[in-house]
Structure 1
Amino acid sequence: MSISGFTSPWWFLLLIVVAAVAVGYVLAVRARRKHTMRFTNLELLDRVAPRRPGRVRHVPAVLLVVSLTLLTVALAGPTAEQQVPRNRATVMLVMDTSLSMEATDVEPTRLRAAQDAAQSFADGLTPGVNLGLISFAGTATVLVAPTTERAGVVEAIDNLKLAQSTATGEGIFAALQSIESFSAVVGGAEGPPPSRIVLMTDGKQTVPQDEYAPRGAYTAAGAAEQKDIPITTISFGTSYGTVEIEGQQVPVEVDDSSMREIARLSGGDFYKAATAEQLRQVYADLGEQIGYETEEVEASRPWVVLGTLTLLAAAGSSLLIGQRLP
């Protein structure tokens, strides 16, 4: 039973009373023992004084003190941290569909493995999360605006098509624009829901070649950080992937350093996945992080139950041992 705090800790002052009850019991037992020893005729004492159980006779009193302690903790209002589903959040899934995703270093291909993992991620998100989808190659396309309906996102992921070039910055900027448009509609009195971009790519940006260009990936990451929208980057693939272009095998090595830098600039997290299983695990971890939040919840019920059960045990043992209530 993990406790993270108390709402009314001043109730712990009752423990002084509980301690006084325990001390009073000990003093009463000692006084009774002294009073009993005044009988000098021990044979007569054996006849007139009923036989009392040994240390077992103290069990009811101990249980009573334990019960009062547990109930005092309950009155103090213990709280605990608990994972609860988010009831509002926006996530834009930005997926690379450049030709390098056709590499077979991840079976059956990088793209197919990415599609399967992304679909599982979409299906597993908690209902309160609005999920959108963007694909990017030479340009970026918003395939699904943020929504709690998962069927459209899953279908769009399944229909992703490959194209030339890798415009990572355009994908990020498109996600930011989509989030801003959605937040303007659903913001309300509580303000816009917390947002995040999940960027999955396997290669280095090629359009433009400079990540710090006005439409480059690093510039886009800086814009995301200013808008308090972290980017979680997933670098997917291996260092030995190749694709066939015009009859030649062209190496398509992943670019971990760029993805790590995008995550850092935006205040997000970086993940590396070299296999389909690793990618599924990354998405599973993200589902837990994005779909749930930690809240302080009231946790006094277990203490009330334990205290009540212990009190009943004290009463039952007192009747059984001493034929009376404590």
Structure 2
Amino acid sequence: MLENFTFENPGFFWLLALLPLLAAWYFWKKDKQQAELRMSSLKGFKGTKSILPTLRHILIFLRLLALAFFIVAMARPRTTDVTSRTSSTQGIDIVLAIDVSASMLARDLKPNRLEALKEVAAEFIQDRVTDRIGLVVYAGESFTLTPVTSDKVVVLNALKDIEYNNVIEGGTAIGMGLATSVNRLKDSNAKSKVIILLTDGVNNAGFIDPLIASELAVEYEIKTYTIGLGSNGMALSPIGTLPNGQFQYGNVPVEIDEQLMQDIAKTTGGRYFRATNNEKLEEIYEEIDALEKTEIEELKYYNYEERFRPFLLIGGLLLIMELLLRFTIFRSFI
């Protein structure tokens, strides 16, 4: 609650600096406030001890405290309730086309290429609050994992469940992955349509030429960002299967058809990126996120509730208490 507590007239707090001065003035003048009677002898007067003369100083404390509450009330304390409404003026539909071939298990990214991609892509999806996102996976063939949707929970759960299996035909059908992604977006009414196509290999499967698929993307005004995933040189990749069903790993050359990926990006008005490690992959998705920004209109509504009344009431009660004590219990000492 204190985070929303503000003061409309904070300048009145300067008056609080006067209170210590008033207290000092009182204690300097207190001995002169009582009339003095000089007598040659006090014999014959019975001495009495009372704590009231000492307690009479509570009166100035009550008055100063009352003034402090009045000053806070004049500063107009209030709480602010802020509500906001956002509306997207330019929605973007995005399809992530992900290579799930066996080479995506290579360990040049940690823990492997596929898991590194899933982690970075999840952050990207969460950041696209007002956009619709779909997932396409491909190896030797391609299929839609989730259609374009605004339900980020569905997309994130589907992304989390992506893993390599031998159900999909082996190979890397870049053209089919791109064509399936275009098919997901061609009927979209979004102001902007984007494909993020990622692969770690060369087009060696499928019956659709990647350049033909890129021309389809141009026809439907779909921009394509391409990402080549894999370190330069050699990478520890699956080269066979052991008797226990586990993959056998060995160092193999990293082959990415960068020229093809550059041509697809250039043809569709996108850009090509090369991710050689986890950090670079994250930077690429951040850059794409910055390039494809959704225009958002945000309206904020402020509801103010005045809170000076309690301070005014407490100050008044303290002042009344001071006056009652002054003219009753401490009347003989004033």
If the length of structure 1 is used for normalisation, what is the TM-score?
0.57
| Residue in structure 1 matched with residue 269 of structure 2 by the alignment | 267
Deviation at 1:114, TM superposition (A): 0.5
1:116-195 correspondence to structure 2 within 5 Å = 116-127=119-130, 129-162=131-164, 163=166, 164-181=170-187, 183=188, 187=189, 192-195=190-193
Q: For each residue in 1:224-254, what CA deviation from the matched residue of structure 2 results, as whole angstroms up to 9, or x when unmatched? A: 1122111111111112224222257343433
| Residue in structure 1 matched with residue 105 of structure 2 by the alignment | 102
Task: Give secondary structure in 1 for the equivalent of 2:221.
Answer: coil
| Residue in structure 2 matched with residue 201 of structure 1 by the alignment | 199
Task: Give secondary structure in 2 for the equivalent of 1:241.
Answer: strand
Identify which range, 91-100 or 283-292, moves more after superposition. Answer: 283-292
Deviation at 1:284, TM superposition (A): 1.4
| Residue in structure 2 matched with residue 90 of structure 1 by the alignment | 93
| Residue in structure 1 matched with residue 209 of structure 2 by the alignment | 216
Unaligned runs of 5+ in 2: 1-86, 241-247, 298-334
Residue among 229, 251, 270 paired with 2:222: 229
Distance 1:229 1:244 in 2: 34
1:241-280 correspondence to structure 2 within 5 Å = 241-246=235-240, 247=248, 249=250, 250-280=252-282
Label 1:248 to 1:149 Cα distance change in 2 as closer, same or farther (>3 A): closer
Deviation at 1:148, TM superposition (A): 1.1
1:229 partner amino acid: I
Distance 1:267 1:177 in 2: 18
Q: Do the aligned partners of 2:98 and 2:197 also contact (CA within 8 Å) in 1?
A: yes
Unaligned runs of 5+ in 1: 1-83, 209-213, 296-326
Deviation at 1:288, TM superposition (A): 2.2
Q: For each residue in 1:143-172, what CA deviation from the matched residue of structure 2 results, as whole angstroms up to 9, or x when unmatched? A: 111111111111111111225211111111
Deviation at 1:100, TM superposition (A): 0.8
Q: Which has the higher helix share?
A: 1
Q: For each residue in 1:175-221, what CA deviation from the matched residue of structure 2 results, as whole angstroms up to 9, or x when unmatched? A: 1111124x2xxx3xxxx43211111111111114xxxxx61111111
1:45-56 correspondence to structure 2 within 5 Å = none
Q: For each residue in 1:12-36, what CA deviation from the matched residue of structure 2 results, as whole angstroms up to 9, or x when unmatched? A: xxxxxxxxxxxxxxxxxxxxxxxxx
Identify which range, 135-144 or 157-166, moves more after superposition. Answer: 157-166
Distance 1:248 1:277 in 2: 24
- Please identify the structure whose Cα radius of gyration is greater: 2
If the length of structure 2 is used for normalisation, what is the TM-score?
0.55
Deviation at 1:101, TM superposition (A): 0.5
Label 1:241 to 1:248 Cα distance change in 2 as closer, same or farther (>3 A): closer
1:288 partner amino acid: A
Distance 1:263 1:288 in 2: 17
Label 1:105 to 1:86 Cα distance change in 2 as closer, same or farther (>3 A): farther
Task: Give secondary structure in 2 for the equivalent of 1:291.
Answer: coil
Task: Give secondary structure in 2 for the equivalent of 1:165.
Answer: coil
Distance 2:147 2:285 in 1: 20
1:1-20 correspondence to structure 2 within 5 Å = none
- Share of identical aligned residues, percent? 27
2:115 partner amino acid: R
Distance 1:207 1:137 in 2: 8
Deviation at 1:86, TM superposition (A): 5.2
Q: Do the aligned partners of 1:100 and 1:252 also contact (CA within 8 Å) in 2?
A: no
